[in-house]
Structure 1
């Protein structure tokens, strides 16, 4: 078992207890706490653009809720605990590798400051699970502020029960945006809040080079947390068309497509909320359109502010100066397939003129030199840059190395990778390989959802 002891303590649970027999049974769903009423949640969703009226938790279970040490209500959720009424032809089980992937990537995202579900534990079941081969089974114990999704509202709307849709809207506001619960139009307040939360979240994905891989509407939370780390990856070479999911053959969820896909998903949320936005359909559409219109400016503002931080520049500079600077840098990075993480971390050393580490990543050296001269003239702060640009991310070759070793019974590589990526901004001696790009022999990378 891999146990997130700091998170356990935050939840008010004893790590020592969770390692006992009863604790392990709790973490895999074989021991139900007094007062708990586990449920598999129903939801609908658009998967790769195609609508499914009923999806639901096919291999997941909401074990219950706890109040953590900060007074926040948190969901305790199991993944891979067995068949549910929504399992269809699936076995409801999970295997060790994909559950460890979610653990390490979600904990890395949390360390990077990106809103995310958290991983409390991955527990091996001792059972083999048939996939392409027989693989070791495991259960992920996940923690979230809730598991309400855009798909939850799509399901409620599909029932035609407006009362149910109103109750779900009220519940979502109370759970995530209680300051808005008293608004005259609760549904509009919720839509506006989710638009803002997702604009901020996806901007943060783009800033750290994260590719979710399966941005279906059932994988977009109402809280604004990242959820469901299936075929996800961190981008190595900068490429707006980067796709790592084996099932995304058309590139719908490519790195550069994530902002417009998020907006598309929010349109689906707005459609679901139309019956409770206003009694008059035309007025409901008008209100929805206005709320949705805020996404692009909010996303652009969040992304631009993040890029300024990565470049060590304050927010007092004129946009007429900074916007072209950022755009020109992005245009330079793609043809050179610059290592996204390494470049921004190395760039801080170029403030004082020692730019070879960053410069050497570009094919067009003269173009980079001209850009760097413009950038240095704005007096960037190298310390601020190091605080905004990580040294360590879950690099794909290291993730695969760790998962392969864990599947074979060796947890050492996984534990060392986890140690590096959960302190991502602190450069440490001896961890050079965790900051290095993949070797050429690693080749093209593809991930799989684990089912």
Structure 2
């Protein structure tokens, strides 16, 4: 019995120059690794059908479901600051769009589904490790409340892909609000295709920012709204210690989602300059640089929209600068507001910014673990004291000195201390996808075909704010020999 997807495809109805039409390339012996049951239900799909032999045929690209409109999207992008006029989906095919039970439209895309006209010299395939990494991290981000693409399923292909060595191949089924990127606008602007830029902007407004359609200047409203979402998104990244690793404009979603989990990582010891990506030699996308890079990427989007903002070039430039000027204040408000909540402050007072920045400084100077410090602050805010928190600092006295001012500030807060602690635990996760745990799960899957560690890690990360007796090791930083110093791009 054929698998039913309630497709309602809109992007495929745009002009042909927006994409290439082609089917996924079949694989030899697909095997299911995981189906995301909760996400399946949200999309109006049956997870049991997806896990059936017929479902695995669809998830591997061996069968195109009825109603699909398979396309590889065209886009360009700045990669580490250098503009590449044509990139595109080199190893991904968008099957189509569905409107979920919540009324939201989402793309269903197969990643690792074979060569496309945009593959350049690539093989169009994905290795198992990067597929499982994206599955783990994207689902963890969703559980943490971060706007993100999602993982619907992962299958192995029965075929090897060659990177430095031969690796097992896999296909990820990725779900996204859309796959429109800053680089999509750049693709058409670089070709002088003003009509396509306008069509794309109108499509983005209709799909993601319908309120902009009734604004006095819809394209100004679009730019302002995209900037606002990016400001909120990057602030949320910083608040959980996330480093994207490859913030190119082709990895910047117009919908404001985290997309493309290549050499991403989570900090252990707090360090604003930390870099994990093996391809980020100069630290362009270091943890602390991410707000600046997001603003830079938005400026590239603004450049493509200038002809739509106003006929007069000077006026258009002034409008673009005005729209982008809101990014900094929005980011700082989200960042400082988040930090305030992480240390237990429900009200805003003068000196709060300095208090939070002083904590980060003390953490950096003393090698304190980012996630564990904030989680244990939840206990220190009550009657449990500082006994488990002080040892995280090389010089516990540095923490003690900071804590004097913190407790004075907490004393000024209204409300019950237990309510405060509960609020802190709701924003300070106990569990994140720590790099060494992710790598251990990937090694077990790749080297031994043991998916147990992958499944257990997923289960723990699905409830990141809940203490889980028996799973304490998932909350702990790596031992020196377990530390992951570099992460790698799957291509």
TM range (shorter): over 0.9
Asked if 1:401 corresponds to 2:432, the answer is no
Match of 1:376 among 404, 407, 416: 407
2:480 matches 1:440: yes
Indicate if the aligned counterparts of 1:153 and 1:168 stay in contact, CA closer than 8 A: yes
Task: Write the deviation string for residues 353-396 of structure 1: whole angstroms up to 9, x where unpaired.
Answer: 61121122123333321211111122262121111100001111
How far has the Cα of 1:30 moved from its partner?
Answer: 2.1
**1:44-89 alpha-carbon deviations (Å, 9 max, x no partner):** 1000000001110000111100111111111001110000000011
1:34 Cα deviation from its structure 2 partner: 2.1
- Aligned mates of 1:190, 1:274 — CA distance in 2: 12
2:358 paired with 1:328: yes
Find the counterpart in structure 2 of residue 340 from structure 1. Answer: 370
Alignment correspondent of 1:15: 47
Contact residue 150 and residue 218 of structure 1 kept, 8 A: yes
- 1:170 aligns with 202
> Which shows bigger deviation, 160-169 or 296-305?
160-169
Equivalent position SS for 1:173: helix
CA distance in 2, matches of 1:27, 1:246: 30
In the TM superposition, what is the alpha-carbon distance from 1:406 to its structure 2 partner? Answer: 0.7
Shift of 1:350: 1.2
Matched, 1:296 2:336: no
- The CA deviation string for residues 382-439 of structure 1, in whole angstroms up to 9 with x for no partner, is 1211111000011111100000001120001111111111100000110011001101
Once residues 429 and 167 of structure 1 are traced to their aligned partners in structure 2, the CA distance between those partners, rounded to angstroms, is 53
**For 2:280 and 2:461, how far apart are their aligned partners in 1?**
27
3-state SS, counterpart of residue 90 of structure 1: coil
2:61 is the counterpart of 1:29:
yes
Tell me, what secondary structure is at the counterpart of 2:392? coil
User: Which residue of structure 1 aligns with residue 429 of structure 2?
Assistant: 390
CA contact (8 A) 2:368 2:394 kept: no
Query: Is 1:39 the counterpart of 2:78 in the alignment?
Result: no
Residue 444 of structure 1 deviates from its aligned partner by: 4.6
Task: Provide the rounded CA distance (Å) in 2 between the counterparts of 1:425 and 1:444.
Answer: 24
SS at match of 1:181: helix
* Alignment check: 8 A CA contact 2:69 2:96 kept: yes
Instruction: Give the TM-score of the pair, scaled to structure 2.
Output: 0.90
The Cα of 1:139 is off from its aligned counterpart by: 0.2
1:101 paired with 2:133, answer yes
- Kept in 2: contact 1:169–1:186 (CA 8 A): no
2:108 corresponds to 1:68: no
Runs of 4+ in 1 over 6 A off after TM superposition: none
- In 2, the alpha carbon distance for the partners of 1:353 and 1:104 equals 33
Asked whether the equivalents of residues 436 and 483 of structure 2 are also in contact (C-alpha less than 8 Å), the reply is no
Q: Is contact 2:151–2:174 with CA below 8 Å preserved after alignment?
A: yes
8 Å contact 1:58–1:87 — kept in the other structure?
yes
Q: Which residue of 1 aligns with 2:22?
A: none
Q: Distance in 2 between matches of 1:422 and 1:79?
A: 23
Q: Structure 1 length as normaliser, TM-score? A: 0.98
Structure 1 portions without partners, runs of 5+: none
| SS in structure 2 of the partner of residue 357 of structure 1 | coil
- The Cα RMSD (Å) is 1.1
* Whole-angstrom CA distance in 2 between matches of 1:444 and 1:36: 40
The residue aligned with 2:466 is: 426
1:55 pairs, out of 46, 66, 87, with 87
Contact persistence 1:3–1:120 (CA under 8 A): yes
- Measure, in 2, the Cα distance between the counterparts of 1:30 and 1:226: 28
Measured in 1, the distance between the counterparts of 2:366 and 2:377 equals 16
Paired positions, count = 449
| Kept after mapping to 1: 8 A contact 2:148/2:176 | yes
Pick one of 334, 343, 363 that aligns with 2:394.
363
Establish whether residue 139 from structure 1 lines up as the match of residue 171 from structure 2: yes
Distance 2:401 2:121 in 1: 58
| Alignment check: 8 A CA contact 2:116 2:124 kept | yes
CA distance in 2, matches of 1:275, 1:268: 13
Q: In the alignment, which residue of structure 2 is the partner of 1:349? A: 379
- Aligned-partner Cα distance in 2 for 1:88–1:298: 39
Q: Following TM superposition, by how much is the alpha carbon of 1:96 offset from its aligned partner in structure 2, in angstroms?
A: 0.6
Cα distance in structure 1, aligned partners of 2:366 and 2:453? 31
1:220–1:227 Cα contact (<8 Å) kept: yes
Pairwise mapping of residues 203-352 of structure 1 onto structure 2 (< 5 A)?
203-314=235-346, 316-318=347-349, 320-351=350-381, 352=383
Given that residues 435 and 484 in structure 2 are in contact (C-alpha distance below 8 angstroms), is that contact kept between their aligned partners in structure 1? Answer: no
Gaps of 5+ in 2: 1-32, 414-419
